[in-house]
Amino acid sequence: MLSDHDRQNKQMKQKYNPDVLNPSPGQTVTMKHVAKEAGVSLGTVSRVVNKHPSVKPHLREQVERAIAKTGWQPNAVAQSMRTSSTKVIGCVLPDTSNPLFGSIAKGAEAMVRKNGYAFLLANSSYDTEHEIELLTFMFQRRVDGLLFAPSDETNPRMIQAIESARMPTVLMEREFPASCDRVVSNQADGLRQAAEHLISLGHRRIALITLQPNILPGRERRRGFEEALTSAGIPIDPILLRPDNLSAGYAYQQMQELMSLEDPPTAIIMGGNMMLAGAIRALNLTNKRVPEDVSIIAVGDTDLAELGSPPITTVRWDLEGLGAEAASILLERIKAKSDPKTAGVKHIVRPTEIVLRKSCAPVKIKSS
Amino acid sequence: MLSDHDRQNKQMKQKYNPDVLNPSPGQTVTMKHVAKEAGVSLGTVSRVVNKHPSVKPHLREQVERAIAKTGWQPNAVAQSMRTSSTKVIGCVLPDTSNPLFGSIAKGAEAMVRKNGYAFLLANSSYDTEHEIELLTFMFQRRVDGLLFAPSDETNPRMIQAIESARMPTVLMEREFPASCDRVVSNQADGLRQAAEHLISLGHRRIALITLQPNILPGRERRRGFEEALTSAGIPIDPILLRPDNLSAGYAYQQMQELMSLEDPPTAIIMGGNMMLAGAIRALNLTNKRVPEDVSIIAVGDTDLAELGSPPITTVRWDLEGLGAEAASILLERIKAKSDPKTAGVKHIVRPTEIVLRKSCAPVKIKSS
DNA sequence: CTGTTAGCGCATTCAG
DNA sequence: CTGAATGCGCTAACAG
């Protein structure tokens, strides 16, 4: 029974409607108002809005005038309710203030928006429990799909959560044993290039500070690194491997430890984009010069790497493109209503490249 | 075209509905299923979900078991439809890949999430027309509130759009003539500190490269800068003022122009966080040394400023805190349903501080 | 205290 | 081609 409501409406219209630009505050305009204003039925309004071909031109025009006059805007919530499609893509990332994730998010958001979807973003702060909450949060909001980079692929609760999350999802820079689309960059190859470059400069004691193996880039970076060394016939010294964390603080501390070894590395690869800052702090402290005393390569390109002194050789890849491609694949899945479990999983691997700068030098002959 | 879907649904119900316990996959579980499972009515389920106090414990428990058994999750879309509150905060920013906006977004998102709201993010790419579209987009999705940093406060279409956007909004680092809550950092004071520091070092030819005056920080930075000079009795040389753009490219180009002046500045303030990169590129090109040949201060603290050589003196402020405070104010407004127009506008100004590093030196006596 | 019921705003049948 | 009617899933009266 909308009678009171309607009556009030009518009054308002009589009183204020001339001033359409200023729909009185608090009064929400619905399709019904438009229909009344245009002298047609709800269905007709809906049809012109959704560009259904079979509407007589003069009615269409009447409706359009009514829309303009009332200032009506479709209510996306009601549309979602009716169509059971929200046209929103959720995105759960560890930390968008890390420029790496920030850029991925930006690329994804742009693609998502371009296709008329909304972009619901949430940071998990590298916390699996929080991520699980966010997954149900996204599900309750009935996002049409999910872009996701979990913080720990091996956590059984995480695996369980993603299995039972009934939303199309594509992983970014991550993988799950379960069939799930993903787009990742080729970190193994990047690290291989980095290590080979150092090896070609004569280095044999090369250290790697990198992230833990519970996420794909952690494993792949180490794998590429070890493969390069092995191919060159260089034995892998476990003491030079520091694969535990992606923070600047960790790099700072490991850097100091490495440099105070009896037989320190002559080159170090920082396998994480936040690590360079920590490394530089440690180097400044110990008065080691780059590249005279130690050669450095950073994974993940930044202003600091490009413009610091010396400029740092890095491994880089297209972050925004990665986010955009992940979004594309998700959007396709949604459009085609195809399920990876039946239609085949998509695994995209995107290239990485090495950017040579001035932080690497030929190894010095040891005076022994 | 949901017809197939609908029909299928109806069939499913006729055929399979007895088996409520086992919502076949693809079958969405609703409160109705839970109610049936628990042997209670819809209303009761709703009450236990919304923690209404008056539900007999044993019924409550029954319902909770039924929820667990069916795996039901509330449908936020339906809730929104019913309560006409989406529990989502929209956020429109020029470019979240700029760490400045990225950090603001992160702070805002955290606060928004902490209060049980979702965070709908969109980048406008510094484009007013795009921003206007985004505003209607956010409105159509019926966000409960909006966090906004327009790219041009003076565009009449923008002003019109924000006036007629019927959502509670709080501006970040921006202002509008219209009554609108805002939280900003004290850029005038930051620039005053920066200029005074340079003046105390004996500089009198100080240049400012900064953003255009159509956004608040552009105006405020220039104002603080000019006030400091005027207080010190230093005349303002228009040729040393470059207030047009916030990009690294702009800084690069203006930097080159400034350094090739017949009477070049002895100190330069980069009034934008992206500018330092451009400035360093220009400096590298011309072989000018910092601070021997020219002193530098950057507005906006970054890794590059902290860890480059030399480390750069900067003006900094709490970005995440700013985003969080803006979100807080918005959330309060929403909770209290208070309108700035009647309840008084909130204008928060947050402090900025100068971080002294090694990029500024006393001016050299000119050999004349 | 609990069951029943009426819509929220819209898209989509189904008749005419 | 158009109008009327239905219901998406849920909350909030309203009765009982």
Residue A350 has pLDDT above 80, yes or no: yes
Name the one residue in this structure whose structure tokens are 């921003």. B131
Residue A121 has pLDDT above 90, yes or no: yes
Residue B5 has pLDDT above 90, yes or no: no
Q: What is the rounded distance in angstroms from the CA atom of residue A97 to the CA atom of residue B20?
A: 45
Q: Verify cis geometry, omega within 30 degrees of 0, for the bond prior to A310.
A: yes
A39 is near strand C: CB distance < 7 Å: no
Confidence of residue A341 (pLDDT cuts 50, 70, 90): confident
CA nearest to A198, candidates A291, A311, A309, A284 = A291
Nucleotide with C1' nearest the B77 CA: D9
Strand partners, A268: A207, A296
Q: What is the mean pLDDT of residues B325-329?
A: 98
Q: What is the mean pLDDT of residues A210-238?
A: 97
Footprint of strand D on the protein (CB under 7 A): A 40-44, 47, 53-56, 59, 81-82, 84; B 28, 30-32, 42-43, 45-46, 49-50, 72, 74-75, 78-79, 81-83
* Number of Cβ pairs < 8 A linking chain A and chain B: 134
A122 touches chain B (CB under 8 A): yes
Q: What is the rounded distance in angstroms from the CA atom of residue B183 to the CA atom of residue B170?
A: 8
> Which one-letter DSSP state was computed for residue B15?
H
Least-confidence region, from A163-172, B192-201, B262-271, B294-303: A163-172
Counting every residue written for chain B, the total comes to 368
Confidence of residue B211 (pLDDT cuts 50, 70, 90): very high
Report the pLDDT value the prediction gives residue A165, as an integer from 0 to 100.
Answer: 82
Torsional sign, CA B215, B217, B221, B227:
positive
B320 touches chain A (CB under 8 A): yes
Task: Decide: A262 and A163 in contact? Cβ < 8 Å.
Answer: no
Counting residues of chain A whose pLDDT is more than 90, the rounded percentage is 80
What stretches of B96-190 adopt beta strand conformation (E)?
Answer: 118-123, 145-148, 169-172, 181-185
Residue A19 has pLDDT above 80, yes or no: no
Name the one residue in this structure whose structure tokens are 């902290």. B306
Counting every residue written for chain A, the total comes to 368
* pTM tops 0.75, yes or no: yes
Q: Which nucleotides of C are covered by protein (CB under 7 A)?
A: 1-14
| Separation of A162 CA and D4 C1' (Å) | 44
Q: Which nucleotides of D are covered by protein (CB under 7 A)?
A: 1-13
Confidence of residue B18 (pLDDT cuts 50, 70, 90): very low
Q: What is the mean pLDDT of residues A60-66?
A: 92
A34 residue type, one letter: V
Which residues lie below 8 Å from residue B79, measured CB to CB, with a gap of 6+?
none
> How high is the mean pLDDT of chain A?
90
The DSSP H or E segment spanning A90 is strand A88-93
What stretches of chain B adopt beta strand conformation (E)?
Answer: 88-93, 118-123, 145-148, 169-172, 181-185, 206-210, 241-243, 267-271, 295-299, 313-316, 347-350, 353-355
Residue B8 has pLDDT above 60, yes or no: no
Strand partners, B296: B268
Chain B residues in contact with A164 by the CB 8 A cut-off are 71
Q: What is the rounded distance in angstroms from the CA atom of residue B89 to the CA atom of residue B120?
A: 6
Confidence of residue B13 (pLDDT cuts 50, 70, 90): very low
Residue A14 has pLDDT above 70, yes or no: no
CA nearest to B210, candidates B297, B289, B99 = B297
Q: By CB neighbour count within 10 A (0-12 exposed, 13-18 middle, 19+ buried), where does A171 fall?
A: buried
Q: What is the mean pLDDT of residues A7-33?
A: 48
| Separation of A266 CA and C9 C1' (Å) | 68
Phi and psi torsions of B91, nearest 5°? -145, 120
Which residues lie below 8 Å from residue B331, measured CB to CB, with a gap of 6+?
B89, B111, B112, B115, B117, B145
Q: How far is B212 from chain A (nearest CA, A)?
A: 24
Confidence of residue A339 (pLDDT cuts 50, 70, 90): confident
The DSSP H or E segment spanning A79 is helix A76-83
Partner residue opposite B280 with nearest CB, options A277, A302, A307: A307
> Which one-letter DSSP state was computed for residue A82?
H
Q: What is the mean pLDDT of residues B165-170?
A: 90
Q: What is the mean pLDDT of residues B99-109?
A: 96
Chain center to CA of A298? 21
Q: Which residue of B has its CA nearest to A30?
A: B140
Partner residue opposite B96 with nearest CB, options A76, A105, A306: A105
CA nearest to B325, candidates B301, B351, B354 = B351
> Which one-letter DSSP state was computed for residue B287?
T
Among left, alpha and beta (phi > 0; psi -120 to 50; other), residue A34 is alpha
Give, in order, the Cα–Cα distances in Å from B261 to each of B258, B265, B279: 5, 8, 16
**Cβ distance of A307 and B120 shorter than 8 Å:** no
> How high is the mean pLDDT of chain B?
90
Confidence of residue A11 (pLDDT cuts 50, 70, 90): very low
Instruction: Name the B residues in 8-37 with CB < 8 Å from any A CB.
Output: 25, 28
Q: What is the rounded distance in angstroms from the CA atom of residue A261 to the CA atom of residue A239?
A: 9
| Separation of A31 CA and C8 C1' (Å) | 13
Q: What is the mean pLDDT of residues B168-182?
A: 92
Measure the CA dihedral A65/A68/A73/A79, to 10°: 10
Counting residues of chain B whose pLDDT is more than 90, the rounded percentage is 83
Question: To 5 degrees, how large is the angle CA B229–CA B233–CA B235?
Answer: 65
Q: What is the mean pLDDT of residues A149-160?
A: 93
A140 touches chain B (CB under 8 A): yes
A123 residue type, one letter: N
Report the pLDDT value the prediction gives residue A27, as an integer from 0 to 100.
Answer: 73
| Coil/strand/helix, residue A197 | helix
Partner residue opposite B97 with nearest CB, options A78, A88, A102: A102
B343 is near strand C: CB distance < 7 Å: no
